[in-house]
Amino acid sequence: MDKATTIVVTGAAGFIGSCLVSFLNQSGYNNLFLVDDFSDNEKEANLAGKKFLQKVEREVFFDWLETRKPFINFIYHIGARTDTTEFDYSVHEHLNVDYSKKIWNYCAANNVPLVYASSAATYGSGEMGYSDDESLINNLKPLNPYGVSKNEFDKWALRQAQDKNSMNTKTPPSYAGLKFFNVYGPNEYHKGRMASVIFHSYHQIKQNGFVKLFKSHKEGFKDGEQLRDFIYVKDVISICYWFLENWSMHKQFPSGIFNVGTGVARTFNDLVKATFAGLDEDARIKYIDMPEDIRNTYQYYTRAEMQKIQNAGYTKKLYSLEEGVNDYVRNYLSPKKYY
């Protein structure tokens, strides 16, 4: 695709969105429209030094599209309400379902390819496994309103795609919903409680010399042995970019819903040990009770099945947990740098 390509990135001031903007700049793409709620001053540093055409406030974006009628070649819809402790579903429904439908419909009406962020939270407790087989999506049981909202949009998007021969439905020329697993890395400084365990571990080490991890409240799991598929943000944005590359070369990319993880489940103990190693220190861990408000909805195991995206053609080697954490700690957290 020509480097003059015009790309929209929603959620552009956030964690993954701002890293994607930086990667696009590094790859020669500067004609970017950045969409977000830019009122959060803590996120301003995420976009410092980035190249783009214009910032557009999230709530006026569709009016802006209608009045300005910009020519747009590609949309990354990364923006969402991601707080898993927000239990008012109407908040998630507005931003994660209704807003996403408007993005989809714009792409369909204007022949714009779309890559959007879904979430591994759609899998709930994992009783049905972690396969991105689309025939399973209607049966998934997310554990919180955030996961429900992400799954509701996935289901809606699939209905549009399956009904694409109907006169009443339209789809983008290509689309991909990406189920992000446990993403960590630079530019999450603003996320507070929702930042990665690595981020919190690093600061606990600096402040206290040890890291607090949740005790297990489930039989079969020892303290700190809860398992997650942790993926470095640099791999996430590389996968996002791969879809743009496919569109550039072929004017299409594989449409569907794809897992974005490493395919490997690692323990929180492993993660903390890797964080200490990035500081050249021995691990010191204390186990604390899990807060009551998340105890009943806590995932004890996640592991992305990655065959689908690999079969589609993404075969780049991913960072191991130790490699990713080491890069994050040494090159971003310790020097307090952004990506």
236 close to 339: Cβ distance less than 8 angstroms: no
State how far the alpha carbon of 1 is from the alpha carbons of 22, 74, 149, 235, 320, in Å.
18, 10, 33, 21, 31
Sequence-distant (6+) residues with CB within 8 A of 324 are 184, 185, 230, 231, 232, 234, 235
Interatomic CA distance for residues 89 and 72, integer angstroms: 31
Instruction: Let me know: does 36 contact 14? Beta carbons within 8 Å.
Output: yes
CA distance 23 to 154: 26
Q: Determine the Cα–Cα distance for residues 97 and 146; give it in Å rounded to an integer.
A: 10
Considering the candidates 29, 106, 123, 146, report the single residue annotated as catalytic: 146
Q: Find all residues with CB under 8 Å of 151, minimum gap 6, and list them.
A: 118, 122, 137, 140, 142
Q: Per the structure block, which two tokens stand in for 93?
A: 């429904």
Q: CB within 8 A of 185, min separation 6: which ones? A: 15, 19, 196, 232, 233, 234, 324, 328, 332, 339
Give the active site residue among 101, 170, 191, 215: 191
| Strand pairing class (211-214; 285-288) | parallel
Q: Where are the beta strands (DSSP E) in the chain?
A: 7-10, 32-36, 54-57, 74-77, 114-119, 175-180, 182-184, 211-214, 227-228, 230-232, 256-260, 266-267, 285-288
Can 89 be counted among the known catalytic residues? no
Paired strand residues for 214: 288
Let me know if 150 is a catalytic residue: no
Residues annotated as catalytic are: 146, 191
